[in-house]
A = this chain, B = another copy of it.
Amino acid sequence: MTDLPTITTFAWVPEFARGFVRDIRPRWACEEVGQAYRVNLIRDAKTPDHRRFQPFGQVPAYRDDAVEIFESGAMVLRIAERAGGPLLPADPALRFKAVQWLVAALNTIEPVVMGLVVNDVFERDTPWSAERHPTALSYLELRLAELQADLGNKPWLDGDVFTVGDLMMVSVLGGLRGMDVLGRFPALAAYVARGEDRPAHRKAMADHLAVFAAPAAA
């Protein structure tokens, strides 16, 4: 038993999902604030035991000495608030800008990212996928153009300081890795690359991927 925060996630996922599972988000937040954590690996998120903790049968889930939650957006806020520091600034004006961008990533950008992924990947073998692709793509491109215009020449969404809003936006846009759409928005692509190149993200991603590189346990 330990007092370290615990992130619960999958012991194994298919190759196409590696690098995309949302445990990367709380891992990344922990690395940004220098918070050690342990990982609880599960094989099945649909069990009654896990559902008592995560009713939608998903990962990740998170516990620390005081809090037990699911939803990666809530975890990132918790990890940042618990640590203090610039990831979630104390000043309300700056803090709620960071919260605003985190919510924008989850509620304005991620639905159109996932909308294209669902159409092109999960619904690939349906009769409508190819025909519907331009429509799903147009929803996404509209938001990416607006986001890129707002980002302008700033390194991060609110200027010079990397916050939970950037962490979540970079992670959400990272869902487009391997598709060609982000390349048509060069300033956004550079923003995502800048975020993914942070030492904390590189460490989090490496630790996420290392789980699947290990010999499978029985």
Report the bound CA distance from A217 to B127 in whole Å: 48
Within 8 A of B (CB), among A79-132: 92-93, 96-97, 99-100, 102-104, 106-108, 110-111, 114-115, 123, 126-128, 131-132
- Residues of the B chain whose Cβ atoms lie less than 8 Å from the Cβ of A67: 92-93, 96
Residues on B with beta carbons closer than 8 Å to the beta carbon of A56:
104, 108, 143, 146-147
Do the beta carbons of B104 and A70 come within 8 Å of each other? yes
Once A135-B123, A146-B55, A146-B57 are accepted as A-B contacts, the answer to whether A97 and B114 lie under 8 Å apart by CB is: no
Residues of chain B with a CB closer than 8 A to A106's CB = 73, 103, 106-107
Q: Which of A57, A68, A70, A96 has the most CB of B within 10 A?
A: A96
Contact B100 A69 (CB under 8 A): yes
Q: Is B104 a contact of A71 with CB atoms below 8 Å? A: yes
Most B-side CB within 10 Å, residue of A51, A100, A102, A104: A100
14 pairs of residues in contact across A and B, judged by CB atoms under 8 Å: A55-B150, A66-B92, A66-B93, A67-B92, A70-B104, A71-B100, A71-B104, A73-B106, A73-B107, A74-B99, A77-B96, A78-B92, A107-B110, A110-B111
